[in-house]
Structure 1
C-alpha cells in the first residue's frame, strides 16, 4: 500500500513538472502591434496599462516618467535584470520583453514595457504563461517599476 501511494505521489509530481515545462512556451504574438501590447486573457494572472480602465482585474495605470526615453528604458532593464531569474528576450529602443522565472517551480512570466516615441509614458504588460492566479505577483512587479521611475 505504501509503495503504491509513494508511486502515485511521484507520478503526480513528475506530471506537474511536465505540465509546467510544456505550458511555459513563449506566446508567439507578443510585442507591439499598432501601438498596442497583447490583450490580457480572462484569467487574473495578467496586468496591463492597455486593458480597459473598467477591467479592475487587469488594468493598471501607465507610468509617467520625466527625462530621457533611452535612460528610462535602461533603468527598467537594469532593475529587472538585478532581480535574478530574469532574461531579456527582445530589446530595442522603446520596447523590451523579459522572461521572469519563479524560483521553485519554474513558472515563466512575460513582462513587456513599451515606451512610445514622443510620449513620456511607459505602457506595460506582465502576464503568467500558465495557471490561473498569480497571487498578485504581476501587479506587485509593476508597482515596483512605478516606484523606481516616480521616485
Structure 2
C-alpha cells in the first residue's frame, strides 16, 4: 500500500517537473532574444552586458565578475580577422543544435547564433565579436529563460575554445 502511494506521488512529481521544463522550453523558443547584438560604447562596439542571472557568460564582463566573466577566444591560427571569422563560422557549422542567425560578411566583426538544446529545445543566444583593434574573439552566451543553466553556456564556450585551439596547433 505504501509503495503504491509513493509510486503515485513520485509519478505526479515527475509529471509536474516535466511539464514545467516543457513550458520553459516553449517560452524559450517563443521569446525574442534579450539585448542582442553589438551596441556603441563610446567609440567601441561592445556585446550586451549579462543580466543579473548566472545563466550568461561574456568575455566583456568585468574580470572580477566570476559568475559572468569568461576569457576571450584566440584567433585560430589565422593571420587576419576575416580568416578568423571564416574559420569560426566553419567550426560553428559542425555543432549539433547550432543555427547561425547572422554571419556578417567577410571582414565584419559580428556573428550571432542560436543554440537549441537536444532534450527540451531550450534556446541560448551565442554571439561573437571580432574587434579590429584586438586579435581576440569576444564571446557572449546567454540563456533566454530561467535563472540557472547549470554551467551550460560556460561549457559551450569552453568547448568552442578547445576546438579552435586544435585549429591553432601545428
- Note whether the superposition's TM-score is higher than 0.5: yes
Which among 124, 135, 155 is matched to residue 109 of structure 1?
Answer: 124
CA distance in 2, matches of 1:137, 1:19: 16
Q: Is the 8 A contact 1:72 1:149 kept in 2?
A: no
Q: Which has more radius of gyration? A: 2
> What are the Cα deviations for residues 111-140 of structure 1, in whole angstroms up to 9, with x where unaligned?
000001232111110111112222222112
CA distance in 1, matches of 2:47, 2:133: 17
Alignment correspondent of 1:82:
94
CA distance in 2, matches of 1:131, 1:76: 28
> Following TM superposition, by how much is the alpha carbon of 1:8 offset from its aligned partner in structure 2, in angstroms?
8.5
CA distance in 1, matches of 2:72, 2:12: 49
Alignment correspondent of 1:19:
24
- Distance change >3 Å, CA 18–CA 90, structure 1 → 2: same
Task: Please list every run of 5 or more consecutive structure 1 residues that lacks an aligned counterpart in the other structure.
Answer: none
> What are the Cα deviations for residues 52-81 of structure 1, in whole angstroms up to 9, with x where unaligned?
111000001222325121111121122122
- Distance change >3 Å, CA 14–CA 63, structure 1 → 2: closer
Q: Is the 8 A contact 2:28 2:123 kept in 1?
A: no
Matches within 5 A, 1:18-57: 18-24=23-29, 25-27=31-33, 29-34=35-40, 35-57=45-67
CA distance in 2, matches of 1:12, 1:143: 29
Aligned length in residues: 150
Secondary structure, counterpart of 1:122 in structure 2: strand
CA distance in 1, matches of 2:143, 2:90: 21
Task: Please list every run of 5 or more consecutive structure 2 residues that lacks an aligned counterpart in the other structure.
Answer: none
Q: Is the 8 A contact 2:116 2:123 kept in 1?
A: yes
- Distance change >3 Å, CA 147–CA 14, structure 1 → 2: closer
> What are the Cα deviations for residues 64-103 of structure 1, in whole angstroms up to 9, with x where unaligned?
3251211111211221220111111112121001000000
CA distance in 2, matches of 1:90, 1:62: 20
- Distance change >3 Å, CA 101–CA 67, structure 1 → 2: same
